[in-house]
Amino acid sequence: MMLEHVLVLSAYLFFTDIYGLITSRNMVRALMCLELILNAVNINFVTFYDLFDSRQLEGNIFSIFAIVIVAAEASIGSAIVSLIYRKKKSTCINQSTFLTK
Amino acid sequence: MDLPGPIHDFLLVFLGSGLILGGLGVVLRINPIYSAFSLGLVLVCISLFYILTNYHFVATAKLLIYVGAINVLILFVVMFMNSSEYYKDFNPWTIGNGLTSLVCTSILVSLISTILDTSWYGIIWTTRSNQIIEQDLIGNSQQIGIHLATDFFLPFEFISIILLVALIGAIDVTLQ
């Protein structure tokens, strides 16, 4: 009972944040939804590691690596968002359509 | 944590409802500061989930890193932006939004029906039979330490290089 409930919750979180990532006008909200997508996947990892044979699965370690990668990506994403805001003075996500200027 | 059955279920329902409301709050709130606080709520609920499944080290690491560092960073970035422009042209429902919600809901419903139809306990009982008893006496942090020092030593070093490169890159990008 517990496994299915946790899997359903993580699937719900995943799809809610995919919806938020696709339809958000704001760059920072897209970053936030991206964090939650990766978190939902981490919940799945640890739930399966909890209930299966823990000698051969290493979902625990992989979730730690995923946390570290998310931290690195969040820092670089925020740096890029601040740089874009500094140049364009607005955070609308469909304003920068070209790579130059 | 080996809690008795009803407390375990109650905590699961409580955290699950916090997760559902927080997830909706991140996506649907207009003011980005409120959605950043909803993000904090979701991350705290996820960390408490990890305590329920006996993984104390990963729960504490998530609390410190996600809520303590990444959420604070996102709040800083949100407050750095000028927020007076958000209330002018807020159009809550375009055709793209409706199409995306339709596609996401249909995939979610099919995934939930697949999860509820799979017989998980048949798979669990066949693979759980060869678990050594000594494995349960080692705590979670020691297990992670053993794995990281023996099997996963090379990815561990690569992760530290990735963090260093990300740090230098973020500083270099914003110093222009």
Cβ contacts of B90 within 8 Å, gap of 6 or more: B30
Q: Which of B38, B42, B85 should we substitute to test contact with A (largest number of A Cβ atoms within 10 Å)? A: B42
CA–CA gap between residue B100 and residue B106 (Å, rounded): 10
Q: Min CA distance, B139 vs chain A (Å)?
A: 13
Q: Among partner residues B20, B42, B124, which is closest to A36 by beta-carbon distance? A: B42
B123, pLDDT greater than 60: yes
Judged by CB atoms closer than 8 Å, whether chains meet at B104 and A15 is answered as yes
pLDDT, chain A, mean: 86
Q: What is the pLDDT of residue B100?
A: 92
Domains in chain A: ranges and CATH:
3-99 (1.10.287.3510)
Q: Note whether B36 contacts A: Cβ–Cβ < 8 A.
A: yes
Can you tell me the ipTM of this complex?
0.90
**B134 pLDDT higher than 90:** no
CB–CB contact A19 B100 (8 Å): yes
The pTM of this model reads 0.88
Token look-up 């909890």 returns: A50
Residue A74 one-letter amino acid: A
Q: For chain A, how far is it from start to end, CA to CA, in angstroms?
A: 54
Measured distance CA(B134)–CA(B145) in Å, rounded: 16
- CB-nearest to A20 from B26, B61, B85 is B26
Q: Which helix (H) or strand (E) segment is B139 a member of? A: none
Spans of all domains in chain B: 1-82, 145-175
A97's enclosing H/E stretch is none
pLDDT of residue A90: 76
Question: Which residues in chain A are contacts of B43 at CB distance < 8 A?
Answer: 39
Q: How confident is the model at residue B86 (pLDDT cuts 50, 70, 90)?
A: low
Q: Residue B128: what pLDDT? A: 57
Whole-number pLDDT of residue B120: 79
Partner-chain contact A23 B97, CB within 8 Å:
yes
Residue A69 with chain B: CB contacts under 8 Å? 159, 162
| Residue B73: per-residue pLDDT | 94
Residues from chain A that touch B101, judged by Cβ atoms under 8 A, are: 19, 23
Residue B65 clears pLDDT 60, i.e. is over it: yes
B13 is written with which tokens?
A: 């329902």
Q: Contact at 8 Å (CB) between B104 and A18?
A: yes
Q: How many CB pairs below 8 Å do chains A and B form together?
A: 192
**What pLDDT sits at residue B47?**
93
By three-state DSSP, how is residue B3 classified? coil
- Across the interface, whether the CB atoms of A64 and B163 are under 8 A apart is answered no
Give the tens place of pLDDT for each residue, B2-14.
666 788 888 889 9
Task: Say if B23 is an interface residue toward chain A (CB within 8 Å).
Answer: yes
DSSP string, B47-107: HHHHHHTT-HHHHHHHIIIIIIIIHHHHHHHHHHS-GGGTTTS-----HHHHHHHHHHHHH
C-alpha distances in Å from residue A66, one per residue of A63, B67, B124, B151:
5, 15, 25, 17
- Please check whether residue B32 touches A, CB under 8 A: yes
Name, of B45-59, B112-126, B159-173, the range with top average pLDDT: B159-173
- H or E element at residue B44: helix B32-52
Please, are residues B50 and A39 in contact by the beta-carbon 8 Å criterion? no
Q: Which of the four pLDDT bands, split at 50, 70 and 90, describes residue A68?
A: very high
- Whether residue B39 lies within 8 A of chain A, CB to CB, comes out as yes
Rg of chain B on CA atoms, in Å = 21
Beta bridge partners of A26: A92
| Residues on chain A touching B12 (C-beta within 8 angstroms) | 2, 5-6
**CB contact (8 A) between residue B174 and residue A83:** yes
By C-alpha distance, which of B73, B50, B57 is closest to B167? B73
> In chain A, whose CA is at the least distance from the CA of B24?
A16
Please state which of the ranges A50-59, B47-56, B76-85 shows the lowest mean pLDDT. A50-59
Residue A53 has pLDDT above 60, yes or no: yes
CATH topology of domain B1-82: Four Helix Bundle (Hemerythrin (Met), subunit A) (1.20.120)
DSSP symbols for B154-169: HHHHHHHHHHHHHHHH
Say whether pLDDT at A25 is over 90.
Answer: no
